[in-house]
Amino acid sequence: MILTLEAVETLANDCLMASGATALQAGAVARSIRDAEAEGTRGIGLGYLPWYCGHLKVGKIAGDAVPVLRHPAPGLVQVDAADGFAHPAFEAGEAPLIAAADSQGIAMLGITNAYACGVLGYFTARLARQGLVALMFANASSTMAPWGGRKPFFGTNPWSMAAPRQGAPLILDSSSSATAYVNLANAAAAGQPIPPHWALDAEGHPTTDAQRALSGTIAPAGGHKGSALALMVEVLAAGLTGAHFSHQASSLGDDLGGPPRLGQTLIAIKPGEAGFADRIEGLIADMAAEPGVRIPGDRRHANRRRIESDGVSIDEALQDQLRRLGARI
């Protein structure tokens, strides 16, 4: 079946509301799912929708949460997600953040007591399209051991940067870990091996067995460098916002423990240099002059152009799964 992006958003909204989310909560998340599908990111699009719905039903996400906005300083915006999704909390703080960055030159939005937010590039790209350079940091429940350790302590702890270009923005979007938890879970379910740098078993040894990896930890990206990045994200995402640190949060991988109460921090910078976007475009052109060089974000932009024209393909198994969640297909 081929769906338009509008149909994807409606379908996601139906499932979320059938699972206990209000229109406020469901709408913001459905918009992010539409965007993920537009960029070809099924894992955090319709593929992750069943996780969202399941965690609504067991109370890991407060489906009726109303974000609480504070503006305690000219360059600081704070939003308490009230155990709901991070997406409506971001939308509550987005306009005040942009206004503060425009007037102050730099501003910060801190979100606390939130569920995980998915792809960070979705949020930073929104700010870059408003002419701002944006940084974002988000922690997650523990799945990764610190460098030299064996026990999960950090989350995958992603970070993102986006900047204006002449056209679609430059987007860097990465995690502190070698892979995402969902990739291990999917490989284990399919009985498939994983690359040896992805994970460690319970004894702290690299493994290609996804099932053993689920009993151990995800490996940090780049060894000690990924571990250091994860610590940085903890300080910026949870330390600054008062959210739970990764090792304090309930797991995103099961139905136990109540809301994880994670944190997300965004920093928005108004470029002071005239012609900033033109200079970034020149930088990227120089970088891409060598054949084979890939520019971060270009694949997602290409996917968007194709999918906006051709639509989103979902197979029969996913259709059936979404129908059970409340989708009208």
122/89 same-domain check: yes
Identify whether 202 is part of a domain: no
For residues 16 and 113, membership in a common domain is answered with: no
Same domain, 115 and 37: no
**Residue whose C-alpha is closest to residue 60's, from 118, 107, 113:** 113
Q: Are residues 292 and 306 in the same domain?
A: no
Instruction: Please report whether residue 230 resides in a domain.
Output: yes
Q: How many domains does the chain have?
A: 2
Give the integer Cα–Cα distance in Å for 136 and 199.
25
**How many whole angstroms separate alpha carbon 238 and alpha carbon 232?**
10
CATH number for the domain harbouring residue 325: 1.10.1530.10
Q: What is the pLDDT along the chain (329 residues), one digit of tens a residue?
A: 999 999 999 999 999 999 999 999 999 999 999 999 999 998 899 999 999 999 999 999 999 999 999 999 999 999 999 999 999 999 999 999 999 999 999 999 999 999 999 999 999 999 999 999 999 999 999 999 999 999 999 999 999 999 999 999 999 999 999 998 878 888 998 999 999 999 999 999 999 999 999 999 999 999 999 999 999 999 999 999 999 999 999 999 899 999 999 999 999 999 988 899 999 999 999 999 999 999 999 999 999 999 999 999 999 999 999 999 998 87
Q: Are 146 and 251 in the same domain?
A: yes
Same domain, yes or no: 35 and 145: no
Domain span at 146? 67-177+220-296
Alpha-carbon distance of 200 to 135, in angstroms, equals: 30
Backbone angles phi, psi at 224, to 5 degrees: -65, -25
DSSP 312: E
**Within a domain: residue 199?**
no
Co-location of 102 and 229 in the same domain: yes
Query: What is the CATH number for 248?
Result: 3.30.1370.60
In terms of DSSP bridges, do strands 68-73 and 170-174 run parallel, antiparallel, or are they unpaired?
unpaired
- Asked if residues 124 and 266 have their Cβ atoms less than 8 Å apart, the reply is yes
Do 257 and 133 reside in the same domain of the chain? yes
Q: Going by DSSP bridges, is the β-strand pair 2-3/106-114 parallel, antiparallel, or unpaired?
A: unpaired
Residue 194 lies in a domain: no
